[in-house]
Structure 1
């Protein structure tokens, strides 16, 4: 389809709107593959514009980054440019919360103000379209994070009379990985949105992601997101795998590992502490086990 459009509109542009100095001179659309394209307004007749709206989603290009911090993150995520600030002052950690809202005409400033009121410091927000975007948290996740995100949904639903879905990505520490993980988080959200009841994180999403075809790179990113803190501790990984294969029965797993029950329990607790994922709960156990299989067979 894009090739046909390029033939009809030779001046068509692809990519994020910030690639252009004069984005307002273009009419922007999202294709069915969520690719962003822009066609010069002067090249479009009213009839052609009406026709394009029947099979493309109009994109609002008028929600640019408003703060210096947002502009820096925009460079990182969409242009793979690492600002000097992030090199000189590395972040302790960061993670992405992708969001989708049901209303198309929400005021971005009001939305930003509502989000800002729920967190102790101003949080960068970048918009992908007039209904989707990403909240960027700088710092480690808090233990009560799930409650906080449920509060966001309740506040926004009450204040703006709209529905919102959130997808919470993993905590990262390497700014060089930010762009890859951002696009991964966005894709994960879109693959799981039909089962997202409001808030879903990357651990809960794992079983659903396996319903979709995954590339080798996506598998590597997923395994890294789940197992990265312990990826080099083969003995610990083996212990957790045996524990899960024993249906989380500590006594049975200890016998299989020829270990004392308390020693095995210590290793399982160590894994939970290092990764922040509770393998004694169903969702955590399933996510970790699937990733262990991929890790062991890499």
Structure 2
């Protein structure tokens, strides 16, 4: 698509991003490429089409992220920085995503409400109608109910239709940039799917990604916490028997020849590490699919065999 735009707009298009260049409209592709097109070269219809096909970049972005930590996150996620943001004490990160049906009249008040609901998260706008939240102190198994309550409050306060999505629990390391890129693309697919729930988790929406955009499904899409957990022989066996017995803890403990309390300890350990409550059907389905896909890609290397 970008090559076609180059041929069409020729010298009016550049891939050298310059936030100080206010004579161009700037956009970002799904794979992170940025480009700008001279404002005088675009008709209103062409601009509207580009805004739907790509993510508009606000030329005021650098000035908007006035706090040091927001600026560092912006550099890390969107530019070529390989330096982690200097977030003291952060080991785990979860991204939350939101889509509005229409732009807000008062986005600043919306941000304040989000910050109050989460407790000092970082919020970034990707366009006038959607963005994401970085939770640097995420709960292990954040419930849909909690996020749903916040969404309901925002809907009633701002009179706007909102859909929210809960991402995976990820390690705070250099791989987070790639994880974020994959997850953003998956969330877009899930959002444009048939699911009309107010809040959807990445785990619930994953089967839709598998069907609609199988090219996105790669081992790098999964949280390292999940991959590490199911690479442990004992944990992998426990999960497989648990799933085979329809999430029945008593029957699973019997089949594994262990006490029910021992089984509960293993399940709690998995939930705490990955943030995935496998006692629910949708989450168990996601983990089952992840195990199958990792085995197929020869990524699942069981240790301690």
Same fold (TM over 0.5): yes
| Structure 2 unaligned regions, length at least 5 | 299-305
- In 2, are the aligned partners of 1:278 and 1:284 still within 8 Å (CA)? yes
- Pairing 1:176–2:174 present: yes
Moved more, 169-178 or 285-294: 169-178
Classify the secondary structure of the residue corresponding to 2:81.
Answer: coil
Q: How does the TM-score come out when normalised to structure 2? A: 0.79
1:68 maps to 2:68: yes
| SS of residue matched to 2:131 | strand
Closer/same/farther in 2, CA of residues 14 and 75 from structure 1, 3 Å limit? same
Q: Secondary structure at the match of 2:223?
A: helix
1:292 — aligned with what? 291
Aligned counterpart, 1:210: 210
Alignment of 1:1-298 (within 5 A): 1-9=1-9, 10-14=11-15, 19-28=17-26, 37-42=35-40, 44=41, 48-53=42-47, 55-57=49-51, 59=56, 61=58, 64=61, 65-66=64-65, 67-83=67-83, 86=86, 89=88, 91-121=90-120, 123-141=121-139, 145-193=143-191, 194=193, 195-215=195-215, 218-224=217-223, 227-250=226-249, 253=252, 257=256, 259-260=257-258, 262=260, 264=263, 266-297=265-296, 298=298
Over 3 Å counting, the alpha-carbon distance change for 1:93 and 1:29 in structure 2 is closer
Give CA deviations for 1:134-187 in whole Å, capped at 9, x if unaligned. Answer: 111111326565333223212221222111112111222233022112212211
CA deviations over 1:192-215 (Å, ceiling 9, x no partner): 113151212222222222213334
> Using the alignment, how far apart are the partners of 2:161 and 2:273 within structure 1?
35
Unaligned runs of 5+ in 1: none
Distance across 2 between alignment mates of 1:222 and 1:4: 29
C-alpha distance in structure 1 between counterparts of 2:248 and 2:149, whole Å: 36
Alignment RMSD: 3.2
Pick closer, same or farther for the CA change 1:110–1:180 going to 2, 3 Å: same
Q: Would the alpha carbon gap of residues 154 and 81 (structure 1) be closer, same or farther in structure 2, given more than 3 Å must change? A: same
Partners of 1:157 and 1:163 within 8 A in 2: yes
- SS state of the match for residue 277, structure 2? coil
Q: Distance in 1 between matches of 2:218 and 2:6?
A: 33
How far the C-alpha of 1:241 sits from its partner, in A, is: 0.7
In 1, are the aligned partners of 2:225 and 2:274 still within 8 Å (CA)? yes
1:203-240 Cα offsets, whole Å, 9 max, x none, are 2222222213334x743134435623513311220221
Per-residue deviation, 1:35: 6.8
